[in-house]
Chain A
Amino acid sequence: MENLIALLIAAPLLGAAVLLCGGRALDRTGHLLGTLLSLASFAFGLVLFTDMLGKDAEERALHQHLFSWIPVEGFQADVAFQLDQLSMTFVLLISGVGTLIHIYSIGYMEHDERRRRFFGYLNLFLAAMLLLVLADNYLLLYVGWEGVGLASYLLIGFWQHKPSAATAAKKAFLVNRVGDMGLSIAIMLMFTTFGTFAFGPVLEATGDTGEGKLTAIALMLLLAACGKSAQVPLQSWLGDAMEGPTPVSALIHAATMVTAGVYLIVRSGAIFNAAPDAQLVVTIVGAVTLLFGAIVGCAKDDIKKALAGSTMSQIGYMVLAAGLGPIGYVFAIMHLVTHGFFKAGLFLGAGSVMHGMNDEVDMRRYGGLRKYMPVTFVTFGLGYLAIIGFPGLSGFFSKDKIIEAAFAKGGTEGWILGSVALLGAAITAFYMTRVMLMTFFGEERWRKQAAIASGAGEDYQEPHPHESPKSMTIPMIILAFGSVFAGGFFSIGDRFLHWLEPVTAHEHGHPPISAGAVTGATVAVLVLGVAAAWLMYGRRPVPAVAPRGSLLTRAARRDLLQDDFNHVVLVRGGEHLTRSLVYLDHSLVDGAVNGTAASVGGLSGRLRRLQNGYVRSYAVSMFGGAALIVAATLLMRAV
Chain B
Amino acid sequence: MNPVNYLYLAALLFSIGATGVLIRRNAIVVFMCVELMLNACNLAFVAFSRLHGNLDGQIIAFFTMVVAAAEVVVGLAIIVSLFRSRHSASVDDASLMKL
Chain A residues, Cβ within 8 Å of B95 = 612-615
Chain A 379-413 residues near chain B, CB threshold 8 A: none
A623 touches B94 (CB 8 A): no
Q: Does A546 contact B (CB under 8 A)?
A: no
Q: Residue-by-residue, is A407-444 near B (CB-CB < 8 Å gives 1, otherwise 0)?
A: 00000000000000000000000000000000000000
A613 touches B96 (CB 8 A): yes
Residue ID in chain B nearest A627 by CB atoms: B18
Q: Does A619 contact B (CB under 8 A)?
A: yes
Chain A residues, Cβ within 8 Å of B91 = 614-616
Q: Does B97 contact A (CB under 8 A)?
A: yes
Q: Does B21 contact A (CB under 8 A)?
A: yes
Chain A residues, Cβ within 8 Å of B22 = 616, 619-620, 623
A623 touches B92 (CB 8 A): no
Q: Residue-by-residue, is A17-47 near B (CB-CB < 8 Å gives 1, otherwise 0)?
A: 0000000000000000000000000000000
- Return B95 CB to nearest CB of chain A, in Å: 3
- Return A611 CB to nearest CB of chain B, in Å: 10
Count A-B pairs with CB separation below 8 Å: 22
- Return B60 CB to nearest CB of chain A, in Å: 18
Chain B residues, Cβ within 8 Å of A613 = 94-97
A381 CA to B97 CA in the complex, in Å? Answer: 105
A614 touches B21 (CB 8 A): no
Chain A 575-627 residues near chain B, CB threshold 8 A: 612-616, 619-620, 623
A619 CA to B95 CA in the complex, in Å? Answer: 13
A615 touches B94 (CB 8 A): yes
- Return A151 CB to nearest CB of chain B, in Å: 79
Chain B residues, Cβ within 8 Å of A615 = 30, 91, 94-95
Chain A residues, Cβ within 8 Å of B97 = 613
Greatest chain B CB density within 10 A among A612, A615, A619 is at A615
Band of interface residues on B: 10 to 19
B21 touches A619 (CB 8 A): yes
- Return A462 CB to nearest CB of chain B, in Å: 101
Residue ID in chain A nearest B27 by CB atoms: A615
A616 CA to B34 CA in the complex, in Å? Answer: 13
- Return B8 CB to nearest CB of chain A, in Å: 17
Chain B residues, Cβ within 8 Å of A614 = 91-92, 95
Chain B residues, Cβ within 8 Å of A623 = 18, 22
A616 CA to B18 CA in the complex, in Å? Answer: 11
- Return B68 CB to nearest CB of chain A, in Å: 18
Chain A residues, Cβ within 8 Å of B92 = 614, 616
Residue ID in chain A nearest B23 by CB atoms: A616
Chain A residues, Cβ within 8 Å of B21 = 616, 619
A612 CA to B91 CA in the complex, in Å? Answer: 13
A47 CA to B81 CA in the complex, in Å? Answer: 112
Residue ID in chain A nearest B19 by CB atoms: A623
Greatest chain B CB density within 10 A among A612, A613, A616, A623 is at A616
Residue ID in chain A nearest B18 by CB atoms: A623
- Return B61 CB to nearest CB of chain A, in Å: 20
Residue ID in chain B nearest A626 by CB atoms: B18
A360 CA to B70 CA in the complex, in Å? Answer: 112
Q: Residue-by-residue, is B1-17 near A (CB-CB < 8 Å gives 1, otherwise 0)?
A: 00000000000000000
Chain A residues, Cβ within 8 Å of B94 = 613, 615
A442 CA to B59 CA in the complex, in Å? Answer: 131
Residue ID in chain B nearest A616 by CB atoms: B22
Chain B 6-54 residues near chain A, CB threshold 8 A: 18, 21-23, 30
- Return B56 CB to nearest CB of chain A, in Å: 20
Chain B residues, Cβ within 8 Å of A620 = 22
A620 CA to B91 CA in the complex, in Å? Answer: 14
Chain A residues, Cβ within 8 Å of B30 = 615
A620 CA to B21 CA in the complex, in Å? Answer: 9
- Return A320 CB to nearest CB of chain B, in Å: 89
A615 CA to B97 CA in the complex, in Å? Answer: 12
- Return A54 CB to nearest CB of chain B, in Å: 104
Q: Residue-by-residue, is B46-84 near A (CB-CB < 8 Å gives 1, otherwise 0)?
A: 000000000000000000000000000000000000000
- Return B58 CB to nearest CB of chain A, in Å: 23
Q: Residue-by-residue, is A621-637 near B (CB-CB < 8 Å gives 1, otherwise 0)?
A: 00100000000000000
A189 CA to B95 CA in the complex, in Å? Answer: 73
A615 CA to B82 CA in the complex, in Å? Answer: 14
Chain B residues, Cβ within 8 Å of A616 = 21-23, 91-92
4 A-B pairs with least C-beta separation? A613-B95, A615-B91, A614-B95, A619-B21
**22 A-B contact pairs sorted by A residue (CB < 8 Å):** A612-B95, A613-B94, A613-B95, A613-B96, A613-B97, A614-B91, A614-B92, A614-B95, A615-B30, A615-B91, A615-B94, A615-B95, A616-B21, A616-B22, A616-B23, A616-B91, A616-B92, A619-B21, A619-B22, A620-B22, A623-B18, A623-B22
Given contacts A613-B94, A613-B97, A619-B21, 9 further A-B contacts (CB under 8 A): A612-B95, A613-B95, A613-B96, A614-B95, A615-B30, A615-B91, A619-B22, A620-B22, A623-B22
